Structure 1
Amino acid sequence: MSSDAPDSFEPGAGIAAEIRNARIEDEMEQSYIDYAMSVIAGRALPDVRDGLKPVHRRILYAMHQAGVTSNSSHRKSSSIVGETMGDYHPHGDSAIYDTLARMAQDFSMRYPLVDGQGNFGSVDGDPPAAMRYTEARMSSIAEELLADIDKDTVDFQSNYDDRKQEPTVLPSSFPNLLVNGSSGIAVGMSTNIPPHNLGEVIDATVELIEDPDATVADLMEHVKGPDFPTGANIVGRNAVHKAYKTGRGRVRVRADYTVEEEEGRIIINELPYQENKARLIERIADDVNAGKIEGIRDIRDESDRDGIRVVIELKRGAIAEVVKNQLLDNHLESTFGVINLALVDGQPRVLTLKETLQHYLDHRRDVVRRRSEYELAEAEDRAHILEGRLKALDNIDDVVETIRNSESRDDAKAALRGEVVVEVDGEPLPTFDFSEDQANHIVSMQLGSLTSMEAAEIEDEYEDVQATIERLETILGDAEELDAVIESELLDIKDEYADDRRTSFVANTGEVTRADLIPEEDVVVVVSEDDYIKRMPVSRFRAQHRGGKGIIGTDLKEGDRVSSVFVTNTHDDLLCFTNHGQVYQLKAYQVPEMSRTARGKSAVNLLDFDDGEEITAVVNCDDIEEVDGYLTMVTRSGYIKRTNIDEFQNILSTGIIATKLDDGDELADVEVTHGGHDLVIGTEQGMSIRFDEDEVRAMGRSARGVRGIKLTGDDRVAGVAAIDEEHHSWILTVTENGYGKRTDLDRYRPQSRNGKGLIDIKTNERNGPVCAINTVGEGDHLVVMSDDGQIVRTPVEDISTVGRNTMGVIVMDLDAGDTVASVDVIPPTMTTEDEELEDEVASDADELDELAETNDSGDAADADDSDGPAEE
C-alpha cells in the first residue's frame, strides 16, 4: 500500500509553511472592521456627490445603458432588475426591486427618479405588486444625474466579475443628496437626510458659488427647511437651524388638518413624512375605544388619487380644541431625526448644510472641468479634420489627381501624407503634408462634398468649432467662467423642474397638551403680598381717561395687599425677580386665569418663595433674544449692576441668585439693556439721575454691584428705566397717591454715576413718595393697580407733559387709605386700533387738571441746578 504521507514531519515544510499564528481577537477585530467598512461604503451610506447609494446608482446606470430613458417606452421591472443584478449588483432581486419601487413612489421621493407604471405601493403601507406586473423607466430628472456621463466626467471601475465598467459616482447636475434625501443603517452609524425643495437648494448652491464665505445662516435664507413629499408642517425652526449648523437635529412634523367646529369634525389633509395612514387610523380608533381620547364618534378614510382626506367626526358637545390637541399629542405629530451623514472621499462624515453644498460644488467643478477637457479634445480633433478638408478643397485638382493615380487606397493615403511621390507621365505630382487622420478622411470623402455649397458649410463649421475651442479654453483657464457654467446649468434645471414648497412651518407652541389649549393673548398678571396670583385678559380693562377710579382688579383677603402687576402674553416665558435678589422662571399660561373679582390662587405650586419674598420685577424672555444683552438690576439702597443674559439660561425650579444684597437691602427693579443707552434711576423722594449704562461694568450673578445714585436721608430707589430714544419720548413718574407726569427726555441731562442727581417730581403730602418710573413713547398705555385691588388703564398721552420739579396731575383716583401698588406699561403692539376710550370717566377730570395746576409751584424755571451739582 502506498501513501502520500511524509515519512517524518518537518516544521515549516509543505502545507505548514502557509500557516501563520494570529491572535483571535486581532483577527476578529480586523475582520469586523473590513465588514463594517464594506457595509458603510458599499451598501448603506450615500455619496455626498450624487446622493446615491451603490444600488440606486447601479439601477439608474443599468437603465441608462439599456436605453430605458424618459423618452422610451416602459420596460418590465423584472427586466430592469435582472440586468442590474446580472451586470452590476449581485445581491438578490428583492433588494434591487425594493429600491426601484421606492424611487418610483411620489410619497417617498420628493422628486421620483423612476417613472413607474402599475402598483408601486401606497401610503397605507401596501407593498408593490410583483416585479413581473409593474413597468418602469427613468424619469426626466433622473437623466440629469447621468447627463454627460459618456464624456469622461467621472471615474469608472470594474463590475463584480470584471466584465463591464460601472461609474463610481454619477455626474449629478443638481444636489440630489439634499433634494431627495437619504436614509440607511450601517454598522455603528446611520444616516437620515430629509428631502428638500429643488429650487431652494439650487438657490443656496448659487449663493455659495457667488459668495464662498457665506455662512450657514446665509444659506438658510434660501433653504427654509426640509420639504417633504407628503407636505405637512414643521413645528418651529430652531431644530431645523440646529440640524443645518451641526448636521444633527430632531424636527417635529405635524399633520395638516382643519377644524370645522360648526360641522363638528376634524379633517386631516396631509400626514407627516413616512407616516402609515392605515396604521394611524387604527391607532386612533384603539385609543378611542380604550377611552384615552374622548369626543370622537366616527373616523372615515375618504382619501383618493387627489390626496389624503381622513374625516374625524366628533360627538355632540365635544370640544374640538381639546380633541385636536389630544390627537396632536399622540398621533398627528412625529419626530424626524436628522443625521446628515454621507461619504466624503469614502469616509463617513456628519456634514453641515454648507459643507454638504461645498462638497457637491467641488464634485460639480471636477465634472464640468473633465467634460470641458473632453469636449475640447473632440473639438480640436474636428478642427484638425476640417483644416485638412479646407486645404484639400484649396488644392482639389492636385488632390484628386494624386488619389486617382495611386495604385491603392493605402498608397493614396501615403501620398497625401507626403511619404511617397505620385508621377503622371513621368512628371511628379505636388506633395502634401496631411496628417494620417486628415489623409484617411480625405480618401473617404464623397464626390458630392466637392461642391461649392459643401465647401461653404465646411468653412462655417470650422468657424463654429474654433469658437467652441475658444470658449472651452476660457472655461478651463478661468475658475470664474467654470463657476458661471455650473450656475447657469443649475438655474436651467431649476426653471425646468422646480415647484412650490409643500411643507409649511407652524409656530412651536411647546407642550401640546397644555400650551396649545391656551389661546395666545395679552394678559395682566396680579400678585399679592400673601402670594396669591392670577391672570386676566388685557382686553377686560378698557382704556379710560386719567383720573378715574378704575375697576376691581382682584378680591383680596383681609390684611392682604397687591405687591405687583405686569402685562405679558400667555405663551411668554417670564423671569420673575424678587426683593430677596432671587430669580424664577415661569410660563405665563401656568398662571391660572380667573375673573376680576377672584382672589387668585396660591403661588406656592408655581414659585417656591421664601417668607417675605415678593416679586418686584418681571422680564419677558422674548425681550432677551439679543446675544449681547444684559439684565440691569437696581436695589433699594442705590446699587446697580449688569449681568449677561447668558448667565440666566438654566434656572432651577427653586430659583437662582440674581444679585447679592446687603443686609436690609432689597432688589427694586430690573431692565433689559443692550449697551450704549442711558439709564434713569428714580427714588421715592423724587430724585433722579441719568447716566450711560456702560459706566456699569458687567458682573456675575453673585456680585452686589456698584452705586448708581447717592441717596440722602432715608430715601430709597423706586425703579430704573432704560432710554431708547428711537422708541421713547418721555420719562413717566407715578407716585403712591395716584399722581404722575410725563417729562421730555432732554430735561434729564446726563451725569456721572453715583451722583445725587436732579429733582424729578415733588413728593409732598399730596403726591406721596414715588412708586414707579418708566420710559414711554407714543401709543403706550399705563396699567396702574392699587394696594386694595383697583386697576385702571389709561393712554400715556392723557398724562400731562410738564417739566421736572413739578407735582404732576392725577392719574388714578384712590379711595381714602388706598395707595398705588404697582405700575406697568403696555406697548403699542398690545393695544388694538379699534379700542375707544371709555365714556364713563371721572366727570371732574378737567377740574382736577385745573386744581393740579393751581397747586403746582410751576416748573421752577427748569431748576436744573437747584439740587446742586452731581457728585461722583
Structure 2
Amino acid sequence: MAKPEKLLDLPLEDVIGDRFGIYSKYIIQERALPDVRDGLKPVQRRILYAMAQDHNTHDKPFRKSAKTVGNVIGNYHPHGDSSVYDAMVRMSQDWKVRNVLIEMHGNNGSIDGDPPAAMRYTEARLSAIASELLKDIDKETVGFIPNFDDTTEEPTVLPAKFPNLLVNGSTGISAGYATDIPPHNLGEVIDATILAMENPECTIDDLMGHIKGPDFPTGGILQGVEGLKKAYQTGKGKVVLRGKAEVEPLKAGREQIVITELPYEVNKANLVKKMEELRLDRKVEGVAEVRDETDRTGTRVVIELKKDGDAEGVLNYFYKNTDLQITYNFNMVAIENKTPKLLGLKSILMSYIAHQKEVITLRSQFELQKAKDRSHIVEGLIHAVSILDEVIDTIRASKDKKDAKENLSKAYGFTDAQAEAIVNLQLYRLTNTDIQTLQKEADELEKTIARLEAILSSDKKLIAVIKKELKEIKERYSDARRTKIEEKIEEIKIDLEVLVASEDVVVALTKEGYIKRSSLRSYSASKSEETAMKDSDRLLWQSEVNTTDTLLVFTQKGNYLYIPVHEIPDKRWKEMGQPIAQLVPIDNDDVVIKAIPIKDFNVPLYLTFMTKLGQIKRTELEHYTAQRRSKPLVALKLKNEDALVNVFLTDGTSNVLFVTHKGYGLWFDESEASIVGQRAAGVKGINLKDDDFVVSSHTFSVGGNPDLVIATQRGALKKLAIYRELEKSTRARRGLVMLRELKSSPHRIVKALLVHDEDIVRVESDKGKLVDVQANQLRAADRYSNGSYYLDQDEDGKLIDAWLLERVDESKED
C-alpha cells in the first residue's frame, strides 16, 4: 500500500521567507564574506589547507593547478571547478593581493583583464607567507569539522600568524551584505597590532601613527585622510585614489605624461582605450597619442602631447573623466562570532589578537602535554638504564612482548607507556653516549615544561610570544610602502583650453531665438549674404568670437542662458540656426533680447540691466559664471508685469540713457546705481508716469558723442544730439520730453537707437513695409519737433520696430 503524501498548508510568504533566510545564512557565513580572524573566505581557506595537506608548499616543486582544484572539490568544496580555480588565481595575482598567498607558473591573467590560462596549463604552490597562515595547524590550535561527506575533516579557521584580513584585504557580495576591505602594508599592520596588544585603550589616531592608510599592490596616490579616519573608526568611509603620473620633456619643446602606477583594480587596457576615445572624439585637446608601453619592468602608459599641449590640464581632465582617479569606498564587513559585522580598524585588530591568544594558548597546551608525555618516557628510560641488567633478565624471562611489559611494570613500577618504550628500545641506544643524551633531553624537557606553563599562566608572557612571532614575520616578509598618502583631496580644475580647440568663429542669434556658429571660412565664402533665417525673423546679434568664450543670452523675463561657444551647433553660414530652446529650455512665452560674449568672468566689469518699469541694476560680472547650465538662470528679480528691456557690459564709468513710450529721455552716470547681488531687483532709474513705460535703454562712454534716433508709431524718425538737446540729470527723475505733444494722434516712441553717421536704420511697419535710412541723412532736430515721416501711416501701416542694419553687435554704441 502506497504511503500517503504529507502535505503542509503553509502561506507562500512564510515558506519563501524561511527558505531564503536559510540560504542567506549559508552564503553570508560560508561563501562571500571573510572571517575576521584569518581574513579568508571558506573557498580560500579550503584551497590553502588542501595544498598544505598535499605538501604543495613553497619549498617543493610546482604542481598542476588542476590537481589542487580536484582535491579541493573532491574533499572540501563541492562546487564548480571554475569558482575554485578563480579564487586560486586571484590569490596569485600580485596586482590584486598585497602579499600573494599562491605562487603560480604560467598565465594567471593580467592587469588588462586578460583571463588566466586553463588550470590544466598552469602550475601552483603555496607562497612562503601563506605557510605562516597554516603554521601550527597540526597542534590542535583551531577547530575542525567534518567535510561534506564525512570522509575527512577541515579547519573552521586557520591559525593565521599575521593579520591577513588587513594585509590582503577582501571584496565580496552576499545577501544583504557586501564587503570592501583594502590591502595594507604588512609591517605597518604588525606594528599597529603590537601597539593594540600593549595598550588595549589605544585610539584610532594612535593606530594611524603606524597604519598610514591602505597600501595597494598597484601603488597610486590616496587622498583624503579625513575619510580614511572615518573609515577606520566606523568601517565605512570614502577616499580618492589616483594613478601616479609624471611629465617628461621631449624634443622640440614637447612633453609627455607617463603613468607608472594605477588606482587599485582599474583595468589598464580599458583605461588606455577610454583615453584614446576621448582624444579621437576631441573631448580633450593637446593630446597627440595615447599608448601602452608596459613591459616586464613595470606599468608605463604614455600620453604624448602636441607642441602646445597643456600637460597639467590634460592630466586633470583624465583624472576627472577616466578611471585614472577613482573613489574608493571602505565597507569593512567581516564574519565575527559567526555574525556579519561592520568593523572599524581597532575591532579588526582586537578580534585578531583574541584569535592569536587562543591559538598560542591551545598550541602551548598541546606542546605542554607532548613535553610531559615525553618527559615521563625519558624518566622511565633513564631509570631502566640504571638497572639495565635486571631489566634485560626480566625481558629474556618473559614469553612475549605483552608479558615483558607486564613483568617490567610489576617488578620495577614502570607505567605502561614507559614499559612500551623500554621493550621497543634498540640495543645501540644503551651506549654511554645515549645515556647522556637522555639526561640532556630530560633537562631540556623540564625547561620546556616550565616555559609553557609560564605562558599559560601569564597573559603578559602570552602577549610577548605573539609579539616575538609577529616581529619575525615582519622582518622576513615586510617591504616598503607602495601607496602614497596625501591629506587633502585635490580639487580638479580644468581649463577650457584643454577641452576645446581655440578657434575664431562667427556666431549669429536671431530675434526668434535661432542660434548657430560658423567657421570663418564658411562666413567669408558667404560674406555678401545675410545668415539664413525665416522671412518673419531678423538678426538680433552677430559677432566674431572664440570657441573658448562663453555667450550670455538674456531673456525678457529676466533670466539668462549660460552657453559655452563650443557647444553652439556648428553650421554653414547659409544654413539656418538651431532653436536656442534645444540647448537650454526656455518658456514658450519668453523671448531672447540680448547676447553678450564673455572671455573672462574675473575682469572688473559690470552687467547693467534696465527694465520696462524703469528699474536699473548693476552687478559684478563674476557673479554670472555658472557650473550648471541645463536650465535658465536668474539674472535679476522682476516685479509683476515688468520686463527686461536691455542689458550692457559696463566698466563703471559709462552714461546710461532711458527712453520712454511717451517721449521722455533721461541720462545719468551709471555709478548712481549702486552695485547689488545677482538676484536683486535694483533701484529706480527713471520716474515714469502711470501709463508710461521704457521702450529703449542704452549706455555710452564719457566723451563719446552718439546721436539718438527716435522712431514713432506714426512712421516718423527724429535725430537728437544728446549732449546738446538732453541735459544730463540724476537717477529717478522724470527726464525731458523729446517730442512735441499733439492733442490729436500724438506721437509715441516705439524704438530709440544710438547711431553714428555711417549707420543705417531700418524701420518696419505692421504691414511688412521695410524702409532703410542712413543716419547722416537725418537732420539733427531740437527736442520740440516731431521729426520727418518715412512711412505713411495710412498706406504703409503703423511703425512697429526699428534697428541698426549694418552694425548688429552693439559694442560700438559709444
TM-score by length of 1: 0.57
Shift of 1:601: 5.1
The CA distance in 1 between the partners of 2:110 and 2:64, in whole Å, is 20
Shift of 1:358: 0.3
CA contact (8 A) 2:601 2:621 kept: no
User: 5 Å matches for 1:336-351?
Assistant: 336-351=328-343
CA contact (8 A) 2:220 2:243 kept: yes
Which residue does 1:796 correspond to in 2?
A: none
Residue type at the aligned position of 1:310: V
Which residue does 2:308 correspond to in 1?
A: 317
After superposition, the C-alpha distances for 1:280-313 in whole angstroms (9 at most, x for unaligned) are 0110111111121111011121110110111111
Shift of 1:515: 10
Is 1:15 matched with 2:14? no
1:389 to 357, 381, 389: 381
CA contact (8 A) 2:624 2:678 kept: no
Is 1:437 matched with 2:425? no
Partner-residue secondary structure (3-state), 2:412: coil
User: 5 Å matches for 1:117-196?
Assistant: 117-196=105-184
CA contact (8 A) 1:321 1:517 kept: no
The CA distance in 1 between the partners of 2:625 and 2:280, in whole Å, is 35
The CA distance in 2 between the partners of 1:479 and 1:44, in whole Å, is 35
Residue type at the aligned position of 1:201: V
The CA distance in 1 between the partners of 2:415 and 2:496, in whole Å, is 82
Is 1:230 matched with 2:222? no
| Residues 393 and 217 of structure 1, relative CA distance in 2, 3 Å threshold | same
Residue type at the aligned position of 1:458: L
Shift of 1:322: 1.2
Shift of 1:593: 6.6
2:266 to 267, 271, 275: 275
| Residues 461 and 326 of structure 1, relative CA distance in 2, 3 Å threshold | same
After superposition, the C-alpha distances for 1:803-836 in whole angstroms (9 at most, x for unaligned) are xxxxxxxxxxxxxxxxxxxxxxxxxxxxxxxxxx
CA contact (8 A) 1:39 1:187 kept: yes
CA contact (8 A) 1:509 1:515 kept: no
| Residues 406 and 28 of structure 1, relative CA distance in 2, 3 Å threshold | same
Is 1:467 matched with 2:447? yes
Partner-residue secondary structure (3-state), 1:505: strand
Partner-residue secondary structure (3-state), 1:492: helix
Shift of 1:315: 1.0
The CA distance in 1 between the partners of 2:321 and 2:623, in whole Å, is 31
CA contact (8 A) 2:285 2:497 kept: no
CA contact (8 A) 2:380 2:418 kept: yes
CA contact (8 A) 1:509 1:516 kept: no
The CA distance in 1 between the partners of 2:56 and 2:348, in whole Å, is 31
Which residue does 1:539 correspond to in 2?
A: none
Shift of 1:602: 5.0
Partner-residue secondary structure (3-state), 2:34: coil
Partner-residue secondary structure (3-state), 2:275: helix
Is 1:116 matched with 2:104? yes
Residue type at the aligned position of 2:286: G
CA contact (8 A) 2:603 2:622 kept: no
Is 1:494 matched with 2:474? yes
Shift of 1:517: 11
Residue type at the aligned position of 1:383: S
Residue type at the aligned position of 1:501: R
Is 1:34 matched with 2:14? no
Bigger CA radius of gyration? 2
| Residues 147 and 592 of structure 1, relative CA distance in 2, 3 Å threshold | farther
Residue type at the aligned position of 2:453: E
Residue type at the aligned position of 1:355: S
The CA distance in 2 between the partners of 1:97 and 1:78, in whole Å, is 8
After superposition, the C-alpha distances for 1:549-568 in whole angstroms (9 at most, x for unaligned) are xxxxxxxxxxxxxxxxxxxx
Shift of 1:411: 1.5
Is 1:94 matched with 2:82? yes
CA contact (8 A) 2:257 2:315 kept: yes
Residue type at the aligned position of 2:414: F
User: 5 Å matches for 1:197-596?
Assistant: 197-260=185-248, 262-331=253-322, 332-418=324-410, 431-513=411-493
Shift of 1:402: 1.2
CA contact (8 A) 2:245 2:261 kept: yes
CA contact (8 A) 1:325 1:517 kept: no
CA contact (8 A) 1:325 1:516 kept: no
Residue type at the aligned position of 1:65: Q
CA contact (8 A) 2:313 2:495 kept: no
The CA distance in 1 between the partners of 2:291 and 2:32, in whole Å, is 39
The CA distance in 1 between the partners of 2:39 and 2:172, in whole Å, is 12
State the identity as a percent.
46
Is 1:48 matched with 2:36? yes
Partner-residue secondary structure (3-state), 2:137: coil
| Residues 126 and 287 of structure 1, relative CA distance in 2, 3 Å threshold | same
CA RMSD of aligned residues (A): 2.6
TM-score by length of 2: 0.61
Residue type at the aligned position of 2:4: I
Shift of 1:410: 1.5
The CA distance in 2 between the partners of 1:592 and 1:510, in whole Å, is 23
CA contact (8 A) 1:592 1:601 kept: no
After superposition, the C-alpha distances for 1:533-575 in whole angstroms (9 at most, x for unaligned) are xxxxxxxxxxxxxxxxxxxxxxxxxxxxxxxxxxxxxxxxxxx
Partner-residue secondary structure (3-state), 1:104: coil
The CA distance in 1 between the partners of 2:223 and 2:188, in whole Å, is 19
Shift of 1:465: 0.5
Partner-residue secondary structure (3-state), 1:512: coil
How many residue pairs get aligned? The number is 516
Shift of 1:251: 1.8
Q: Which runs of 5+ in 1 are unaligned?
A: 6-13, 419-430, 519-590, 612-652, 656-872
Partner-residue secondary structure (3-state), 1:282: helix
The CA distance in 2 between the partners of 1:164 and 1:221, in whole Å, is 45
